Structure formats: C-alpha cells, structure tokens
Amino acid sequence: MAMTRDTRPVSADVRESMTTVEEYLRHDGGAPDVLFERSTKDHGTAPLSKECYVSAAWADLEMDKLWKRVWQMACRENDIPAVGDFVEYVIGTQSVIVVRDAPDSIKALQNSCRHRGTALVQGCGSRQELECTFHGWTWNLDGSLKRIPCRWDFPDVTDEACRLPECRVATWNGFVFINFDPDAPSLEEYLGEAVPRHFERWPLAQRWKAVHVVKPVPANWKVAFEAFIEDYHVFRTHPQIVPYAGDCNSQYDIFDDLHGRMITAMGVASPHAGDQYSYQDTVDAMIGDLIADVVREQGVEVPIPQVPEGGTSRQVLAEFMRQSVGQRSGVDLSGLSDAEALDAIEYHVFPNLIPWGGFSFPLVYRYRPAGRDPNWCLFDIMIFVPFPEGAEMPKDAPPVLLPAEGPFSDCAELGPLGPVYDQDMVNMTRVQKGLQNDGLTEVNFAQYQEMNIRNFHANLSRYVEK
C-alpha cells in the first residue's frame, strides 16, 4: 500500500504531547530495569567553535592529548583467537600491532622496526615472529628482539633497547582496548559503573562479528560520530523511517559523566507524522524496509503479520523480531522483552565507540581520524550475531576496506542498511564542506536532543585543553 510521508517539523503543542520512551516501555511490560535508568546533564545552549572540526592544529592536539591518553577499542579478542594472530590498529599517525603472543596473553606493540622504522605488519594475519621485510630484523611475539642479520655490525645495539615499545592492553565484553598512556586509569575505572553493568544483559562476548566494513569518509571523525548519536536528523535524512521510528521523542542519557546512551522506540510512528499512520501501516513499513527485503533476495516470501484487534504495532513487530532473529541465529529469544527485541538501544563509549544493546540492531560503530588531515576519517561498521549456547564461536570476519568514492549500498554484506548509511554520508560530506566557509565560525546544538554531543565536547575539551 502506498503511503504519503509528511516530514514537516513537529509543532510546539505536538511536542508537549509526545509519548516518551519510558511510557512505551511501561506499556509493553517486561523491559529490564537498566532501560529505565535516567541520567542527564545540562550543558547549556552556548554555541561551539567550529575549529575542532577543521583545524590541523586541533587535530594534532587531539593526537597528543586525546588519542595517546584514552582507552580505545583496537579489535576483538575473537579477531586474534590463536597464538600469532594479529591485527594492525591504526589511529591517526600511529600504528600498533595487536597480537596474541600466548593463549592467555595479548600484546600491543608499536609497529616500527627498530632499525630504520619500517612497519612490520599491515592489515591482519598470523605469524610466529615479526620480521622486517627490509633487512630481516626479527622480533618475538612478545616484542623481544629475536635476531639481527650481521649483528656484528651493530656494536652499540642492545636487546633491551631494541625491544618493541608496548601499549597497555585490557579487555571488556570481547573487545581488546589499548592505551598509549602508562599512567592512565585502568580500563575498569575508565568505563565506569553503568555501561559494563548494562551490557551484562547483552554480553557481546557471546556474539561473533559476522560483518566488518571500513570506509574512508571525507569528514572529520567527530562529524561522522555525531551524526549517529542523535535522532534529530531522522525525519529529514531518513524519511522512509518516519512510519516506524520515534525520533524526536528518543531518550538521551549520560552515564559516569563520560559515556552516553540513546534509546529510540521502534514500531511506532515519528511524532512528526502525527496520526497519519495506523498500527498496520507501521508494521508494513518496518518489515518491508528492514527485514523482508533480505529474505526476498533469496526468493523467500515473507508474509506481513496483521495487527489483531486490541493489539499494537510494537507487540506484533517485537514478536516478529524474536522469531526472525531467533530462527536465523538458532538462539531462543522467546523470553526477550519487546524493547530488547525491537528498539534501537545505542551506547557511546568515549571517545569513539558505539556498541548497541538489545538484539534488534546488532551493531557496533567506530570512528577514527585518518592520518593528520582533519577532513578525513575512517568509519567502521560491525554486525554482531548471537550463536547457540554450547556451539563453537566462528572466527570474527576480517575488515573489508570499502572505496572512499563508492556508496555503502554497493556493499552486499550490509544488505538493506547500506542505503541508509548512504543517506548519512550525504550529510557528513556536506557538513565538512560547509564548515570550511569563513563566514561560519561556530555551530549550535540542541539542548536535549543533542545533549550527548554537548557532553562529548565537554569531555573532549577536558582532554585537549589540559
């Protein structure tokens, strides 16, 4: 059935009557307590200087004062399950070898030969030693020097002086984090209390990474990151989602001052749409856009469930998701609450990691500066899939580098999500272009809907301006 989509901004009187996420959850029943926890912070309404997005000097400060001091996700433990498996982690100008040097040990070694600086590895793979391709200097997996050809010609070189410098390593939820700063607080302290406790409900260590794509984006890493931590843009950027996503009534939270969360009620029409969509319209639109297209490509017809008398679109869609995800993964999700089966539950771990809770959108995002150019970044998209208890976890999929000039929709691994990311790409590139204009000196953020962006910048300034 054809549907018209009115995407005019919501009026003040409509805004006052919007249903909150908490009200949806209470009506559903069964939602876990962690989704009802609220924690906000008022960062005011003042504008922000644009310099942090376009200034090379600011990018250099970030490299020295942010990226060399914070905990950052470098890879998954399951990216390197066997001794000798490695991943090259690149952040700005820095390259690190994250390698499993023993069954229960992971090292993060700076990726430079101590002879003339040659990078020892590139990408990912498996080795039992780290040999330089230039002159054959070789290190053990723990970073200790193993051999130097013609060692007699280097009388002043010592094994200890030529050990590969290490970064700190810690793990959480199946992720491997590194930190360049030997004096930084522990990862446990850094993550705080709320985020680890919340993810006890959705342990990502019990999922495998089925998809990992990386794309160079012509925008500052913060422009890309900020495009995904607010729903204010949905009605204009993603109009096809308006029939089934509550955007301007999303819930925003800040935990332990450093990290954030956004919960978007799905299976309900945007407040921008008023009452133009029935429950059945919402079901038809969501299944058609996000779910049924995947199986239709395989020649399977998917019947659209009907909303029973007295039922709601959220109830029908949550049950559809429980069955659909459960059948594809082999995991019994019958006891999952409607919110966990349906809603977009997105967390932000400062500075650049976005892991999603629940089971409806099994996503993790990461954003990194690309070299020293503030106008480019790397955007990682990962899809995590649960697997049956007792089954052997498949090895995580290696990253696939997409071309900068190609659309996400050309990436088969992303399925129907690809065109949605392409819509976001239009904004990110235009934002970076517009920020270059001399007539623009500052940007403005909403007080509530972009509260997490304001909190992000407060923490960014705390690091960079020290």
pLDDT, tens only, 93-151 = 999 999 999 999 999 999 999 999 999 999 999 999 999 999 999 999 999 999 999 99
Q: Quick one: pLDDT band at residue 3, thresholds 50, 70, 90? A: very low
Q: What is the pLDDT of residue 4?
A: 35
Q: Which helix (H) or strand (E) holds 165?
A: none
β partners of residue 48: 443
Q: 164-173, 240-249, 281-290: which range is least confident on average? A: 281-290
Average pLDDT of 11-33? 82
Q: Where do the H-state alpha helices sit in 93-205?
A: 187-191, 194-198
What predicted TM-score, i.e. pTM, was given to this entire model?
A: 0.93
β partners of residue 366: 353, 380
Q: Is the model more confident about 219 or about 394? A: 219
Distances (CA, A) of 193 to 196, 253, 365, 450, 456: 6, 14, 21, 23, 18
Residue type, 450: E
User: For the chain, which domains are there?
Assistant: 12-53+206-464 (3.90.380), 71-183 (2.102.10.10)
Residue 59: pLDDT over 60: yes
Mean pLDDT of the chain: 93
Which phi and psi angles does 158 have, rounded to 5°? -115, 155
pLDDT, tens only, 440-457 = 999 999 999 999 999 999
Q: Are 220 and 433 in contact (CB under 8 A)?
A: no
Average pLDDT of 22-50? 95
